[in-house]
Amino acid sequence: MSEKRDHGNGSDENGSAKKGKMDFGEAGILLFTGATDFEFVGRKAANLSKSEDTVWEPMRLAALAHIPVRFVSSSPCSAHMFAITDEGKIYGWGRNEKGQLGIGDKKDRRCPTHLTGLDEFNIVMVATGKNHSLFLTDDGKIYACGENKSGQCGTSGAQQITEPKMIVYDGPPAKKVASGADFSVLLDVNGNLWTWGHPEHGQLGNNTDGSYLETAGKVSFNYISAPTKITTYIEKDPKSKKISPVIGVHIKDVSCGNNHSVAIDERNRAFSWGFGGYGRLGHSETGNELAPRLIKFLDGPRRGVSNVTCGGQFNLASSEIAGTTYMWGQYHTSKEANMYPKNIPDLSGWNVRSIACNGKGWMIAADNSVIGVGPSPCFGEMGLGERKKSSAFPVEIKTLDSLYVIKTGMGISHSLFIVRNNSEDSKK
């Protein structure tokens, strides 16, 4: 009997990588706005409110001022961020206490720093969790760094990884990566999802929350330290709770919140799983889901969605009907949660091309404008200037009025914009 061959990350059945550069769109100039005291971001708001280092309006960063950027990371739970240049090189900055920047140390960076350890690869995408990062190459390989105590970097043993390490798994090449706070997801070229990391709340979608009673009164978890394929998608009757399998699911998009995920298949159906608080799973209830469950509201003719972006405890999705954007969950604690997807009236009719979410707000590039929401307190992420720091309602970001924003990105207390370099304003 022949020994089973380990094809490794990003290889096909014959062990050869599937090549082909992924197209993430037009490159442009990177702008940043938000807090830069990364040791306090998401922790000590009083310190941030007194800081003189907060950037209140979108501005260029010197390290990337003359380098075209084609991709920026976005996450509801990250105080670190990355930009990918037009040549596939990667720069990172922000919090680095667990080595999540992949630079080889644990010192925070206030300025974009080149990750030379990935120079031999063409990086096409990055996903960031609370303290870890995933890097996707153009041939479908994944590298990871940062905190790994729950296995979220795809390897066992090491608690922290300060330089990107390749994740080895016996599956097809990846075409997208996503990260929750302490778990990770990949979408392969065949439309399958693979998850690993912390299983709490069912956020790995493998029909368990991974918990067990270690000793009296102490609950522990079985962490998953290697990508494991999601094999079951379900439909649940809201009244009888009868569960039926959904077959023929081929995923095309996936996004993660802190403790939940939403995926879209090729038929524009949406599936959600993980922590269900505040209606973030879209099932008109707050229970957790241990396996990807069909969101019934988005199932049916002209009710599907083409893509999804998860915030901390909410989601935004573009309808297959032009000019409609749905939101479900909660991003403002003083407002009622949407227990199922509802149209955002302020975005009706807008041609949305890029959506980014953080823990409590969002930025959308649509037509010739950028529209954002950021309930107080905010520390520069709204980019409105120091006089108007926050907005609980959708508002146009007037500081970007003269610029065409190609792509948006967000994280804890910061926002990123890639703008087209075809005007005098974008050259300032």
Q: Could you give the domains of the chain?
A: 73-85+94-377+391-405 (2.130.10.30)
292/232 Cα distance (integer angstroms): 7
Pairing of strands 142-147, 160-166: antiparallel
- Contact between 209 and 202 under an 8 Å Cβ cutoff? The reply is yes
Please list, in sequence order, all residues whose beta carbon lies within 8 angstroms of the beta carbon of residue 69, skipping any fewer than 6 positions away: 27, 28, 29, 30, 83, 84, 85, 86, 418
Q: How many CB atoms lie within 10 A of CB 280?
A: 29
Q: How many CB atoms lie within 10 A of CB 71?
A: 24
- Contact between 263 and 253 under an 8 Å Cβ cutoff? The reply is yes
Nearest partner of 98 among 158, 157, 40, judged by Cα: 158
DSSP 49: H
The torsion of the CA quartet 212, 329, 308, 176, rounded to 10 degrees, works out to -20
Q: What is the pLDDT, as a whole number, of residue 13?
A: 40
At residue 307, the 3 state secondary structure works out as strand
- Residue 136 in tokens: 């996707």
Q: What is the pLDDT, as a whole number, of residue 25?
A: 79
Q: What is the pLDDT, as a whole number, of residue 7?
A: 39
- pLDDT by 10s per residue, the chain, length 428: 333 333 345 444 433 344 334 456 799 999 999 999 999 999 877 788 888 999 999 999 999 999 999 999 999 999 999 999 999 999 999 999 999 999 999 999 999 999 999 999 999 999 999 999 999 999 999 999 999 999 999 998 879 999 999 999 999 999 999 999 999 999 999 999 999 999 999 999 999 999 999 888 899 999 999 999 999 999 999 888 899 999 999 999 999 999 999 999 999 999 999 999 999 999 999 999 999 999 999 998 999 999 999 999 999 999 999 999 999 999 988 889 999 999 999 999 999 999 999 999 999 999 999 999 999 999 999 999 999 999 999 999 999 999 999 999 999 999 999 999 875 554 44
DSSP 119: T
- Contact between 194 and 229 under an 8 Å Cβ cutoff? The reply is yes
- Contact between 268 and 320 under an 8 Å Cβ cutoff? The reply is yes
At residue 297, the 3 state secondary structure works out as helix
- DSSP string covering 83-103, please? EEETTS-EEEEE--TTSTT-S
